[in-house]
Structure 1
Amino acid sequence: MSVTQQYLLDTYRAAQQGGPTPPAPGRNDWQAVREVREYGRFRAVMEERPAHGRLRAALARLARGGRLSGGSVARSPRPLP
């Protein structure tokens, strides 16, 4: 059953039972994306990691020829300033 068919069936059932109609498919997609992004930021703060700039930093590492994940490659720690 496709999403559209399920939506039409749910709308029909709501009309028969006198209940509210469900939201159309795709109507709240951007809201869900925002909530997932905010949850990721929340988890980063709770784990004491930077909440902003993680994607940009990962892309910069990738552009420099690095890897996106830490992997099993041992890296020497940077000296403290």
Structure 2
Amino acid sequence: MNALHQYMFDAYRSARHDEPPPPVPGALDIATLRAVRDHRRFEAVLTGRPARGRLRGALLRRLHAGRGQAAP
């Protein structure tokens, strides 16, 4: 059974019990990703790391560290 089948069963069950239908599969994906991103930024601030620009900073450090080395 996939998510669509489960959704159809849940929607049918909620209609029979006069309850609100469940959210459509995938409807809350973006909100979940934003919540995860916000939590990671919050954890970064608590540990004393910058909340934004961590990936770019890491890539720039890696780029500048590799300039002094000769190519193989």
Common topology (TM > 0.5): yes
What are the residue-to-residue correspondences of 1:2-81 with 2, within 5 Å?
2-61=2-61, 64=63
After TM superposition, the runs of 4+ consecutive aligned structure 1 residues lying more than 4 A away are none
* Matched-pair identity in %: 46
TM-superposed deviation, 1:65 = 8.7
Task: Show structure 2 runs of 5+ residues with no match.
Answer: 66-72
TM-score (norm 1): 0.70
Q: Which amino acid aligns with 1:4?
A: L
- Between 1 and 2, higher relative CO (CA 8 Å, sep ≥ 6) is seen in 2
Q: CA RMSD in A?
A: 1.8
TM-superposed deviation, 1:30 = 0.8
TM-superposed deviation, 1:61 = 4.6
TM-superposed deviation, 1:57 = 2.2
TM-superposed deviation, 1:48 = 1.1
Q: Which amino acid aligns with 1:47?
A: T
Task: Show structure 1 runs of 5+ residues with no match.
Answer: 67-81
Query: If each structure's helix is expressed as a fraction of its own residues, which one has the higher value?
Result: 2
How many residue pairs get aligned? The number is 65
TM-superposed deviation, 1:25 = 0.6
Cα distance in 1 for partners of 2:9, 2:56 equals 43
Aligned to 1:74: none
